[in-house]
Structure 1
Amino acid sequence: MPFTPAYRPDPVFAKLGPDFADPVAAARFPQLKLRRRNQDWAARIGLGALTEEEWTTHFGRFEPLPGNMNAPLAMRYHGHQFRVYNPDIGDGRGFLFGQLRDGAGRLLDFGTKGSGQTPYSRFGDGRLTLKGGVREVLAAEMLDALGVYTSKAFSLIETGEELVRGDEPSPTRSSVLVRLSHSHMRFGSFQRLAFFERPDLMRVLVDHCVDVYYPDLADRSGEARVAGLFAAVVRANARLAASWMAAGFVHGVLNTDNLNVTGESFDYGPWRFVPESDPEFTAAYFDEQGLYAFGRQPEAVSWALSQFGGALSLICPVAQLEPALAHFAPAYQSALVERMFARLKLKASGDAAADLDFLQGVFNWLTESRAGWDQFFHDWVGADAARAGQSPRAAHYERADFAPVREGLEARAGGVQLTHAYWRRPTPVSLVIEEVEGLWAAIAERDDWSAFERKLADIDELRAAAALSCHQPVAPKV
């Protein structure tokens, strides 16, 4: 098998034992047709030379990778779903298939979606629609291009089954997705242990997370270690929430089983990008109360962190955890300035409060003017007023209420030269729902993947032009 030295298997989760996951078998699919292969990441982790047959063998039939896990594991967890506690969930249509190290020494997971039934499937079939797989690829690629620390859509294979779903025309085509992520360790993994009152296992899981994800905390012990881990997770997820807001992204389902300890975005179901700034914009049709609306995402993440902290209180006094949770708001605000300024290529003024006030003015103006989210960021990257004046939305920038925003932008201009050809486009690459539906319609009706491939190429161009860092600074194991 053509595995290079960059392939560094390290299946550490399996070593935790049988209290955290259940061995399962992958579904046997009638067809395996490779639809998406993330060759860039495959090359980085030593799998770039796999033939298509070898690829589908490992990521469609799920035969073990060399030196890796002997059997897939369905991870155990609970979670608050729309703030209602559910003890009957876990990996219901996915599993952990393997683990390995990236070039920086950080642990990576192969996690699946649509790979078959598990003990936690309840009444589900354990499958993923092809449309769902296509949407996950698009979300992960666009978020990565916009500087969000996200899981990678590593593989998408069409599996030849006809699925019945209540939220899309049926029967519909099926797929199995493999995502590459630095962690699938959810808040709900800790909540489950608190539910069963297992402080012994909670300490094992805390030690595992420190050892693998936050080794800088290795010299701490006992309650100080737990409090240190919680503080690190709060900071990571504050940055994640800020990144979503800067990207104009609505995750849709911010339940505690969809947030993890490394602050990495993952699991894309009913996501949306906002066409215009609207704090009440929701992604999920079933989010009738707007609990996870665009403007409420920081609140949702903070609330989920409080539930994570509540679980950790099984082994650490609340008084030692509360200071970290109280730090969420300033950590989020600081990260929001960082991520928004990075996207606009601005430089900080040196007055943190003034920069935050300026951004609030930007959000307010975008909401009131309906100028268009992506168009505004495209027009004003680098704060070049002459370039913005050539925009299809230039008339919006002549409004009197835009003057304070313009002044703030120009005062923070970073002097960046926009040399990439992408910046000569009159309109930006975007991924609003109408575009996603159009891409899927071509696939569903004519099996035409050309528009999908063109969109991914456009996203690659955006990624190259924007050059936004998207990796959370998680230290490798020492």
Structure 2
Amino acid sequence: MTHLPQPSPYRPETAILSLGGDFYDPVQAADFPQTILRFRNDRWSPAVGLEGLGQDEWLRHFGRFQPLPDNLPQPLALRYHGHQFRSYNPEIGDGRGFLFAQLRDDRGRLLDLGTKGSGQTPYSRFGDGRLTLKGGMREVLATEMLEALGVETSKTFSLIETGEALQRNDEPSPTRSAVLVRLQHSHIRIGTFQRLAYFGEAGNIRTLTEYCLQHYYGEGGGEDAAERLLGHVTRAAARLAASYIAAGFVHGVLNSDNIAITAESFDYGPWRWTPYWDGAFTAAYFDHAGLYAFARQPEAIHWDVLQLARSLLLISTPEALEPQLELFRPEFQHALRNAICARLGVVPAGEDEADNALLVAIETALAAKTVTIDRFFFDWRGGRRRGASPADIQYEAGEFGSFREVIETYEPAGSLAHPYWSDEAPVSMHIEEVEAIWSRIDQEDDWSALYAKVGAIRRMGEAMQGGA
């Protein structure tokens, strides 16, 4: 499960400046007509020492982007390329966001405060550099839900409405605008390495490799730096893919520029949760080939890691890098067993054959699409039926036969004392729920449903952590 943050003093950093000007461009934030605070992350602001900011200070830093004390003097738009739906695009980079600040959290990790919708940069091309308020609201919901379900994700740190009317071709316009600040473990992407490889900058690839090893994996450089970094990213990416499957989450746009070098989930656009265990379920209306469908996400993420390996060939060899790529499959299988057992609330058997049998039984049962994923994991928390459910008849059906037999051998993990486990229904995040929350904001400027949903999600997360 994810770490619950603890209070920590404000510890500013400027580590990114050590890379030098080949990696970023100083930029200015847009001058917004308004700054109306809509969401402030009261869970994570204490973990980075910023809970003491008053509302006016918060708006100055995260709406007007006045630098934080002893931090980056100016926002930086990072340079990167990437494969977008398997087509290489050398004309992208931070086009509507930038790196605003760096700091340490309660565990001493280097974290970035990056933006979305903060204005145009040299990489905006024909875009306006803005974010819709609906897009910002959706990112709040995605990050809160993923965190509660144990996925290592960026955190939505701030959402501020900015008072502009935006035109969009794929949704009703004009629509309201926002600027979002996300807290994440790294602003460096696989696409950052791809750009350097594209220009043949072997020296800069080595510099960036050593930076990532030092600041994200606690290691030094050396002749085997590329292999070690690839190994770390491969294992972390496999765990990310497994956590998506266990959560029933579909990111929607798993391009190589959307995979951080720490493999922490981030950058949420057309995401959805699949109600049923449907391998073909897609989130993006433009994903016509189903490239990033629910069941294909591990393949997509592994493919992106392969692009990192290809970039690292400038400072390594295929023979040295290939064994690191081969770590993906076994790490994914191990992580998937752990993630499924964690969501189910049982202790893994610790034997591949037994745990694989459980996974097969769960997939077989859920693939019948008679019970939603959320309902199943809620009803069977701890490995036993907790009480009456609307799905009782379905649980007695033949497709659940193997699961009923296999689960008998598993022991519960943690407590079921939290009152959440006595609720009538699980917390879910299906598209109609998201649209209903947005409708109240859009039509009535009523934010109560969003805040209530965040509260319910966090309560679920506490219950899944075993708290009473």
Cα distance in 2 for residues equivalent to 1:447 and 1:468: 36
Q: Following TM superposition, by how much is the alpha carbon of 1:361 offset from its aligned partner in structure 2, in angstroms?
A: 2.3
| 1:147 and 1:468 in contact (8 A); partners too | no
Q: TM (normalized to structure 2)?
A: 0.97
Cα distance in 1 for residues equivalent to 2:258 and 2:466: 24
Cα distance in 1 for residues equivalent to 2:345 and 2:396: 22
Cα distance in 2 for residues equivalent to 1:270 and 1:107: 28
Which amino acid in structure 2 is aligned with residue 221 of structure 1?
G
| 2:361 and 2:406 in contact (8 A); partners too | no
Which amino acid in structure 1 is aligned with residue 297 of structure 2?
Q
Which amino acid in structure 2 is aligned with residue 337 of structure 1?
R
The structure with higher relative contact order (CA 8 Å, sep 6+) is 1
Counterpart secondary structure, 1:213: helix
Residues 413-428 of structure 1 mapped to structure 2, 5 A cutoff:
413-414=411-412, 416-428=414-426
Residues 21-32 of structure 1 mapped to structure 2, 5 A cutoff:
21-32=24-35
In structure 1, the partner of 2:12 is: 9
Counterpart secondary structure, 1:277: coil
In structure 2, the partner of 1:240 is: 240
Q: Following TM superposition, by how much is the alpha carbon of 1:5 offset from its aligned partner in structure 2, in angstroms?
A: 7.1
Which amino acid in structure 1 is aligned with residue 124 of structure 2?
S
Which of these residues, 67, 79, 85, is aligned with residue 88 of structure 2?
A: 85
Q: Following TM superposition, by how much is the alpha carbon of 1:400 offset from its aligned partner in structure 2, in angstroms?
A: 2.2
Q: 1:379 to 1:12 in 2, by over 3 A?
A: same
Q: TM (normalized to structure 1)?
A: 0.95
In structure 2, the partner of 1:322 is: 322
In structure 1, the partner of 2:168 is: 165
In structure 2, the partner of 1:71 is: 74
In structure 2, the partner of 1:279 is: 279
In structure 2, the partner of 1:452 is: 450
Gaps of 5+ in 2: 1-6
Which of these residues, 192, 199, 208, is aligned with residue 189 of structure 1?
A: 192
Which of these residues, 399, 409, 412, is aligned with residue 411 of structure 1?
A: 409
In structure 2, the partner of 1:476 is: none
Which amino acid in structure 1 is aligned with residue 447 of structure 2?
W
Q: Deviating runs (4+, > 6 A) in structure 1?
A: none
Which amino acid in structure 2 is aligned with residue 134 of structure 1?
M
Cα distance in 2 for residues equivalent to 1:265 and 1:28: 29
In structure 1, the partner of 2:3 is: none
| 1:343 and 1:468 in contact (8 A); partners too | no
| 1:22 and 1:75 in contact (8 A); partners too | yes
Which amino acid in structure 2 is aligned with residue 226 of structure 1?
A
Counterpart secondary structure, 1:422: helix
Q: Does 1:126 align with 2:126?
A: no
Counterpart secondary structure, 2:12: coil
Which of these residues, 461, 464, 468, is aligned with residue 463 of structure 1?
A: 461
Q: Following TM superposition, by how much is the alpha carbon of 1:425 offset from its aligned partner in structure 2, in angstroms?
A: 1.0
Which amino acid in structure 2 is aligned with residue 398 of structure 1?
E
- Report the aligned-residue RMSD: 1.3
Number of residue pairs matched by the alignment: 461
Cα distance in 2 for residues equivalent to 1:5 and 1:343: 29
**Residues 39-86 of structure 1: CA deviation (Å, up to 9, x unaligned):** 121112111111110000000000100000010000000000000000
Which amino acid in structure 2 is aligned with residue 320 of structure 1?
A
Cα distance in 2 for residues equivalent to 1:130 and 1:348: 42
Q: Following TM superposition, by how much is the alpha carbon of 1:415 offset from its aligned partner in structure 2, in angstroms?
A: 5.9
Cα distance in 2 for residues equivalent to 1:51 and 1:43: 13
| 1:346 and 1:409 in contact (8 A); partners too | no
Cα distance in 2 for residues equivalent to 1:22 and 1:87: 16
Residues 466-477 of structure 1 mapped to structure 2, 5 A cutoff:
466-467=464-465
In structure 1, the partner of 2:431 is: 433
**Residues 73-101 of structure 1: CA deviation (Å, up to 9, x unaligned):** 00000000000000000000000000001
